[in-house]
Amino acid sequence: MTQSNTLLPNLYKTMKRIRTFEERVGELFIKGETAGTMLHLSIGEELGPTCLGAAMQKQDTFTTHHRGHGIFIARGGDPKKMMAEIAGKKDGYCKGKGGSMHIADMKLGHLGANAIVGGGIPTVVGAGLSSKYLEEDKVSVAFFGDGAMQQGILYESMNMASLWKLPVVFCCINNQYGMGTKIDNAAGLKDFSKRAASFGLNTLHIDDLDIENAYVKSKEIIDKARKFEPGFIEVECYRFFGHARMDKSPYRSEEEEIKMRKSDPISYASNQMLKNKIMNEDEIKKINEKISIEMDEAMDFAINSPLNNQKEIFTDVYDESEPLPISVEERINKILS
């Protein structure tokens, strides 16, 4: 295959890996093996993380929102360690202490998922500042949802990035819903690029399923950021399922869901590959099977990973050279003795 013929299959594979991972997270939940129910799946939203993930370079850093599994997979996250984290187990990326919404891996430049809407956005401003100061050629990308478009911290951060000409990109994955509130009921101006452009950022609005084109355009924005022209990307998509595992979406109609789920970036990419004879059905099936096995193994790994020792409650609050916090039991026993 020529180089142009490997791009779409590679993007397809990443999207399919994200989707399958999220499906297995759903299964892990049904098996009662997840730590809690705060699981925000990104099924239907694979295009944005995949094309930006591919357009970023190895040394680049990023933060994500609460619906960030897909971004992490697109940046090389290990599904086994991710799944173990979601299960709250010892082998997880954060020893099971962060969970789905606080997963991070400094080695892969993942500066942290965030459970506060907009909470991780200013982190990339600081990372951009470091990159420029230390001359490290790292772009830092903040991923967040449409909910964060209504948070003040985004505008403080976009202003700083613009003012200081930082290698930073703000990426809004607009899945149309902030929990159960539709974007029409949350945003006075839905053309988010206009907001970002008013801060002097380069902007890009992706609103179709052509991932190759989205990849090329996002790469342009990221490349400009590397030359200290910060940017903003909005990727429009649709959250196929509820906000979290317990949400049955009472705020939207079944008709809407059926209609919108037809805008599936994975089916679209697969049809494109068939149509342009880049891959045949058998080849696609083989890829899918391989991914299925990989994610089954990740789920098994999580289920079989050991639980934490109880002392892990107290570790990692402070630097390891500092004393551990005193337990309540120790305090009480000292008083009673």
Partner 1 sequence: MSDLNKNYYEKITFRDALRLAIHDSMQEDEKIIVMGEDVAAYGGAYGATKDLLKLFGPKRIIDTPISEAAIVGASMGAALTGLRPIAELMYVDFFGMSMDQIANQLAKVRYMFGGQINAPMILRAQGGTGRSAGAQHSQSLETWIMHTPGLYLSIPYTPNDAYHLLRAALKINNPTIFIEHKLLYNTSGILDKNNPDQIFGKAQIRKKGKDLSIISYSRMVNFAEKAAEELAKQKIDVEVVDLRTLNPLDRETIIESVNKTKRALVLSESCYTAGVPSEITSIIFEHCYTNLLKPVIRYTAEDTPAPVAPNLEENYIPTIEKIVEYSKKLCK
Contacting residues toward partner 1, per CB under 8 A: 61, 92-98, 102, 104-106, 111-112, 114, 116, 119-131, 133-134, 136, 138, 140, 152-153, 156-157, 159-160, 163, 315-323, 325, 331, 334-335
Rounded to 5 degrees, φ, ψ at 88 are 70, 35
Nearest to 210 by CA among 268, 274, 271, 263: 268
Phi-psi region of 103 (alpha: psi -120 to 50; beta: other; left: phi over 0): beta
Nearest to 16 by CA among 245, 251, 279: 279
Give the whole-angstrom CA distance, residue 204 versus residue 220: 9
- Letter string b/e over residues 153-173, b meaning 16 or more CB atoms within 10 A of that residue's CB: bbbebbebbbeeebbbbbbbb
Bridge partners of 143? 171
> Taking a C-beta distance cutoff of 8 angstroms, is the pair 122, 161 a contact?
no
Give the whole-angstrom CA distance, residue 23 versus residue 158: 34
Taking the CA of residue 23 as centre, how many other CA atoms within 13 Å lie in the half-sphere pointing to its CB? Answer: 14
Least distance to partner 1 from the beta carbon of 276, Å?
Answer: 41
Nearest to 13 by CA among 297, 262, 274, 292: 292
Q: Report which DSSP code applies to 202.
A: E
Encoded amino acid at 199, one letter: F
The residue (of 276 and 333) whose beta carbon lies closer to partner 1 is 333
Give the whole-angstrom CA distance, residue 133 versus residue 58: 19
